Amino acid sequence: MPTSYAYFQKRIVPLEEARLPVMTHAFLYGTGVFEGIRGNWSEERGEVLLFRPREHFERIRMSAQILKIGLPLTVDELTDICVQVVARCGFREDVYIRPIAYKSGEVIGPKMHDVEDDYLMFVLPFGNYLDVEAGIRCQTSSWRRVPDTSIPARAKVTGLYVNSALAKTEAMENGFDEAIMLNDDGHVSEGSGENVVIIRHGRLITPARSDNVLEGITLASVARLAEDELGLEVIERTVDRSELYVADECFLTGTAAHLSPVVEVDRRKVGAGAIGPVTKKLQALFFDAIRGRNPKYADWVTPVTPAAEPAAARIKA
């Protein structure tokens, strides 16, 4: 049976052996930065295709730099560790990879200095997060997105996700699939774990980076597909809440969410209340690229051959 493995304290170990002490600073104060990376299974190739791992490791290094968390591994080294752990797991299905650089010292007191750092990552099998086919229903959250002046929004900080968790749970308890958060100015910021894109008059519009959004890797990839494959203009600017209600189309982008069409916001249909034509085309282009079916975007994927099951396990089965 394929098993989840982790890179933990500089060794590759079965996930259940990766355990942290209760006084770990990152657990007490949320002092970690993380990534989510998808490995998409390609049946044709018999490989797991990591989607833009280098960009994710560049971003975790940037997040660590912002938070003053030591991460003495290069992008090449981080990518290499990731490839080794994914291969060791042997999963022949879609996986999700969670790297974390964190304050590992067992120290009381909220601070970033004089606390030891460490790095770990683990791999899990992972299917769809939101409904990419039928589309999703969103609610504007009563929780505002944490401003960059409080916790850096372009860093993927573990503690910052309390904000996302509150928004997501509120939306789901109110019968929606996902939350869209506004910033303190009342402008659209992002989903609980996704960037927001609207389409109006044939142009893609997404909130400006200075509106407290994470600089999404999926968003950048979809923007490139929109420009290069469909010849569409992509604009980053302030987006009003009411623009969500009059958009022709709307979708969310994210590592977990892929490209998820939004068919309703605050009980108002978006466009015809079904996945829109541009969203559909972009989705097809995106899924082809992440499954390695478009040679033009071959450099977006890093292939990993899953380890074969150990001989003993095969005989037993």
Ligand X SMILES: Cc1ncc(COP(=O)(O)O)c(C=O)c1O
Residues labelled catalytic: 156
CB neighbours of residue 172 within 10 Å? 14
Q: How far is the CB of 98 from ligand X (least distance, A)?
A: 11
**Which listed range, 119-127, 209-217, 225-233, 271-279, lies at the site for ligand X (CB under 6 A)?**
209-217
- By CB under 6 A, tell whether 207 contacts ligand X: no
Q: Which is nearer to ligand X, 265 or 290 (CB)?
A: 290
- By CB under 6 A, tell whether 282 contacts ligand X: no
Judged by CB under 6 A, the chain residues 127 through 186 that form the site for ligand X are: 164
Q: Which is nearer to ligand X, 88 or 156 (CB)?
A: 156
Rounded Cα gap, residues 56 and 36, in angstroms = 8
Q: Which is nearer to ligand X, 79 or 218 (CB)?
A: 218
Q: How far is the CB of 253 from ligand X (least distance, A)?
A: 6
- By CB under 6 A, tell whether 195 contacts ligand X: yes
Phi, psi of 208 (to 5 degrees): -60, 150
Q: Which is nearer to ligand X, 8 or 286 (CB)?
A: 286
Rounded Cα gap, residues 290 and 86, in angstroms = 17
Rounded Cα gap, residues 93 and 47, in angstroms = 9
Q: In the structure encoding, which two tokens stand for residue 15, read together?
A: 């996930």
**125 strand-pairing partners:** 95
CB neighbours of residue 236 within 10 Å? 16
**# binding residues, ligand X (CB under 6 A):** 14
**Which listed range, 4-12, 17-25, 214-222, 300-308, lies at the site for ligand X (CB under 6 A)?**
214-222
Residue choice 47, 117, 178, 190 for contact with ligand X (CB under 6 A): 190
Q: How far is the CB of 52 from ligand X (least distance, A)?
A: 8
Residue choice 194, 211, 229, 264 for contact with ligand X (CB under 6 A): 194
- Locate tokens 């209760």: which residue? 22
DSSP letter string over the chain? ----EEEETTEEEEGGG----TTBHHHHH--EEE--EEEEEETTTTEEEEESHHHHHHHHHHHHHHHT------HHHHHHHHHHHHHHH---S-EEEEEEEEE--B--SS-SSS--EEEEEEEEE---SS-TTT-EEEEE-SSPPPPTTTS-TTS-BGGGHHHHHHHHHHHHHTT-SEEEEE-TTSBEEEESSSEEEEEETTEEEE--GGGT----HHHHHHHHHHHHHH---EEE---BHHHHHH-SEEEEEETTTEEEEEEEETTEESTTSS--HHHHHHHHHHHHHHTT--GGGGGGEEEEPPPPPPHHHHHH-
Rounded Cα gap, residues 157 and 66, in angstroms = 10
Q: How far is the CB of 254 from ligand X (least distance, A)?
A: 4
Q: Which is nearer to ligand X, 124 or 272 (CB)?
A: 124
Q: Which is nearer to ligand X, 118 or 211 (CB)?
A: 211
Q: Which is nearer to ligand X, 115 or 217 (CB)?
A: 217
Q: How far is the CB of 198 from ligand X (least distance, A)?
A: 15
Q: How far is the CB of 59 from ligand X (least distance, A)?
A: 7
**Which listed range, 193-201, 259-267, 284-292, 293-301, lies at the site for ligand X (CB under 6 A)?**
193-201
Q: How far is the CB of 199 from ligand X (least distance, A)?
A: 18
Site track for ligand X across 53-92, x = CB under 6 A: ----------------------------------------
Residue choice 214, 223, 270, 282 for contact with ligand X (CB under 6 A): 214
Judged by CB under 6 A, the chain residues 216 through 275 that form the site for ligand X are: 216-219, 253-255
Using CB under 6 A as the criterion, which residues of the chain lie in contact with ligand X when the complex forms? 36, 164, 190, 193-195, 214, 216-219, 253-255
